[in-house]
Structure 1
Amino acid sequence: MTPSPRRGRPTQVDIARRAGVSQATVSLVISGGAVSDQVAEPTRQAVLAAAAELGYTANVAARRLRGKRNNLLGIYTFEPVFPVDQRDFYYPFLVGVEEATAALGYDLLLFSSVTSAADRSIYAGGVNRLRIADGCVLLGRNVRRDELAALVREDFPFVFLGRRELPDADISYVAADYVAATSAMVTTLAGHGHERILYLRATDDTEPTRDREAGYRQGLVAAGLAVDESLIQALADPAELTAEHLEHWIARYGVTAVLVEPTEDTRLTTALDEIAAAARIRFPQDCSIALLGDPPSWTPDRRDWTRFSLPRVEMGREAARMLIELLEDRRTAPERVSLPCTFVPGDSIGPARAGRPS
């Protein structure tokens, strides 16, 4: 359950009032170690219970810290497994955060969980688990926006990796510029003579999907092509993409090129590999295809699909920098940064095939 709205973090004074003891007693208990043994056990338990009720996280490293900060940043993912595998889509973000955190003199704490994506929560047990850190970098596709809103109400510092919006609050984020990258991809295809370009979008209406669609529309207009709503199709799971789908779109709509949102795993690229292996549709001879983002880490043994690549390491570095500026009061308002993507030519686009119906 999300805690009731409150401003700021609970203090030792708040705990003292709740437990009916002095602030000095609270300080002895929270400090831990031998000094806490000076406090009677019933009193110590009352202080700890009050701290838990208020959502106060005792930082075991506090004795070595300056002021109210402990020079400890957190990184939390809304995905069920933390990205520590180098093949994972999210792993380069982690690398960038870690590099910047170390360079700027902070330690990094990874918040992980063994629960499923549906159960994964910052507020496990009703308490903000991130409070042990000064602030946190958040990432992941399966975002719980109610928890982002709760963090804002608490004034807990965080930066999101990716553009995320809340209806009644502004948050800091570092995003990939999907709008410009998708628009440029459309322009590239138009330069190859493609006029019937299908955009295969995800069904969920997230900010990255909306940005890609905005870029698709902008690219068509810039290329002097009409926006045909029938060429914007949704597919719930890219793993379900088949040769039959492509044959249908080619025959019915005259499609000569397809733009598709990749998944963070191998589902899409596996489906495309299977289509190519069946030899019913050849890329790019029969249809050009480009990915609007990164597939899992590319290796030379895999098909080099035309795509644009996100600056994931740089995004991680920038998110850590922004968070530290918020913590050190060098920035008081939310900051929003969009970084350019890199075009990867690959081998899956080519000239439009003549003779397609218009």
Structure 2
Amino acid sequence: MNTQKRRKATQIDIARLAGVSQSTVSLVLNEDPSRSQIPAATRERVMDAVRELGYTANPAARSLKGGRNRLLGLYTFETVFPLDQRDFYYPFLAGVEEETAERGYDLVLFTSAGYDQGRGVYAGDVNRLKVADGCVLLGRHIRRDDLERLVAEDFPVVFVGRRHVEGGALSFVAADYAAATRDVVLRLAALGHRRLLYLAAGDQSEPSQDRASGYQEGLAEAGVTSDERIIEPDGLTADRLVGWLADGVTAIVVEPTEDDRVAVALQEAAASARVGIPEDVSVALLGDPPTWSASPRDWAGFSIPRTEMARAAVDMLINLLDGQAEQRTLFLPCPQVTGDSIAPARVRP
């Protein structure tokens, strides 16, 4: 029995069988624009030889030669696998996959860690993303030094979400949190609310900054000057909630987080204090709840266009690769959600 392993066919083998030069084979297989100058009969002979020899291209080798391998990467700074359809990141991942497939690219998921302290793009000095033509980046807790190095290398990346990089310009597709948050504040003001409280996520990420900016803009536009704010959900007790209401707070806006800890803490405090939502206090979320639980509560606020953001990021990345990127940043509007958690301000004695 002959157990000798058959040698993989090469472009030289194809050239010999088709009776053409290796450069002609390369132009045909790599879909080079110059291939249009090659007669159709010659191209067909090359493809017949490819099929006969069972030739398969090596994407990594093609990439090392400076060509395009039609692979797009997706790198997450968060641990998001495994997940289900209720996960905060699921719509982003689904949108990237759908748009990539529709555009005729394959998708590579980068999920391994490059640092002892956590996830990172670089393993030593090696950019692990370079196996792909370009990469979509995702995640709230990022490594700024990784982003700075990617921009400095001019490696094609697009971030899902607004991110700022010192000394360079990072392409991104983001939700317009500032405008959406301003509109939520104006809705509450139109219902007679004059003292609002803002429960923030407690970090200084760009999405948090945008929401805070929109909140202040809405207060100023509505002529509402009273502003109470708590940064961390820790210590959000029933007594504290009752104290806020006694001080005149009639509405609370909440910045959701991936683990929903702020909204959960508020609901538990309200239930413990027997405070009704929205009968005693109106509550609006500055974005969708990160998990779609069985809770009957239909939160008022706005919705984050996660799938649309992801698809737009893929589109922007491909335009970057094609040298046709006229727009390097994009903000998508967030539709307002009516919900059942806000009502006219209650007049207290």
Q: 1:193-232 maps to which residues of 2 (within 5 A)?
A: 193-226=192-225, 228=226, 230-232=227-229
Q: Report Cα offsets for 1:213-256 as digits up to 9, x if no partner.
A: 11111111221222x4x513311xx365332232222223x110
Cα displacement (A) at 1:82: 3.4
User: Quick one: structure 1 residues 296 and 201, their matched pair in 2 at CA, closer, same or farther if it must change by over 3 Å?
Assistant: closer
Candidates 300, 305, 328, aligned match of 1:335: 328
Q: 1:1-20 maps to which residues of 2 (within 5 A)?
A: none
Amino acid at match of 1:262: P
Q: Tell me which residue corresponds to 1:347.
A: 340
* 2:247 equivalent to 1:249: no
Verify the 8 A CA contact 1:83 1:90 in the aligned structure 2.
no
Cα displacement (A) at 1:64: 7.2
Verify the 8 A CA contact 1:138 1:158 in the aligned structure 2.
yes
Amino acid at match of 1:303: R
| SS of equivalent residue, structure 1 residue 322 | helix
Verify the 8 A CA contact 2:60 2:131 in the aligned structure 1.
no
Verify the 8 A CA contact 1:79 1:117 in the aligned structure 2.
no
Verify the 8 A CA contact 2:256 2:290 in the aligned structure 1.
no
Percent of residue pairs identical: 55
Q: Report Cα offsets for 1:137-192 as digits up to 9, x if no partner.
A: 00101110100000011111100000001121111000000011000000110111
Q: 1:92-107 maps to which residues of 2 (within 5 A)?
A: 92-107=91-106
| SS of equivalent residue, structure 1 residue 79 | coil
Q: Tell me which residue corresponds to 2:36.
A: none
- Count of residues in correspondence between the two structures: 296
Q: 1:118-157 maps to which residues of 2 (within 5 A)?
A: 118-157=117-156
User: Quick one: structure 1 residues 240 and 111, their matched pair in 2 at CA, closer, same or farther if it must change by over 3 Å?
Assistant: farther
Cα displacement (A) at 1:114: 6.2
| SS of equivalent residue, structure 1 residue 171 | coil
Cα displacement (A) at 1:317: 0.4
Q: Report Cα offsets for 1:21-80 as digits up to 9, x if no partner.
A: xxxxxxxxxxx9687xxxxxxxxxxxxxxxxxxxxxxx9424678961111000011012
Unaligned 5+ residue runs, structure 1? 1-31, 36-58
User: Quick one: structure 1 residues 114 and 63, their matched pair in 2 at CA, closer, same or farther if it must change by over 3 Å?
Assistant: closer
CA distance in 1, matches of 2:87, 2:115: 18
| SS of equivalent residue, structure 1 residue 268 | helix
Verify the 8 A CA contact 1:78 1:117 in the aligned structure 2.
no
Higher mean displacement: 114-123 or 319-328: 114-123
CA distance in 2, matches of 1:270, 1:117: 32
Amino acid at match of 1:151: L
Q: Tell me which residue corresponds to 2:231.
A: 234
Unaligned 5+ residue runs, structure 2? 1-6, 11-56
Candidates 257, 261, 274, aligned match of 2:255: 261
Cα displacement (A) at 1:81: 3.3
Verify the 8 A CA contact 2:148 2:165 in the aligned structure 1.
yes
Q: Tell me which residue corresponds to 1:271.
A: 265
Amino acid at match of 1:251: A
Amino acid at match of 1:272: L
Verify the 8 A CA contact 2:161 2:172 in the aligned structure 1.
yes
Candidates 271, 287, 290, aligned match of 1:293: 287
CA distance in 1, matches of 2:113, 2:165: 27
CA distance in 1, matches of 2:239, 2:141: 30
CA distance in 1, matches of 2:142, 2:89: 14
Q: Report Cα offsets for 1:84-120 as digits up to 9, x if no partner.
A: 4222101101111111111111111111126899421
| SS of equivalent residue, structure 2 residue 75 | strand
Cα displacement (A) at 1:136: 0.5
> Which one has a bigger Cα radius of gyration?
2
| SS of equivalent residue, structure 1 residue 353 | coil
Cα displacement (A) at 1:267: 2.4
Q: 1:44-193 maps to which residues of 2 (within 5 A)?
A: 60-62=58-60, 68-82=67-81, 84-113=83-112, 118-193=117-192
Cα displacement (A) at 1:329: 0.9
CA distance in 2, matches of 1:157, 1:140: 17
Q: Tell me which residue corresponds to 2:44.
A: none
Cα displacement (A) at 1:352: 0.6
User: Quick one: structure 1 residues 232 and 301, their matched pair in 2 at CA, closer, same or farther if it must change by over 3 Å?
Assistant: closer
Does 1 or 2 have the higher relative contact order (CA < 8 Å, sep 6+)?
1
Verify the 8 A CA contact 1:80 1:116 in the aligned structure 2.
no
Verify the 8 A CA contact 1:80 1:115 in the aligned structure 2.
no
Q: Tell me which residue corresponds to 1:24.
A: none
Cα displacement (A) at 1:279: 4.9
| SS of equivalent residue, structure 1 residue 231 | strand
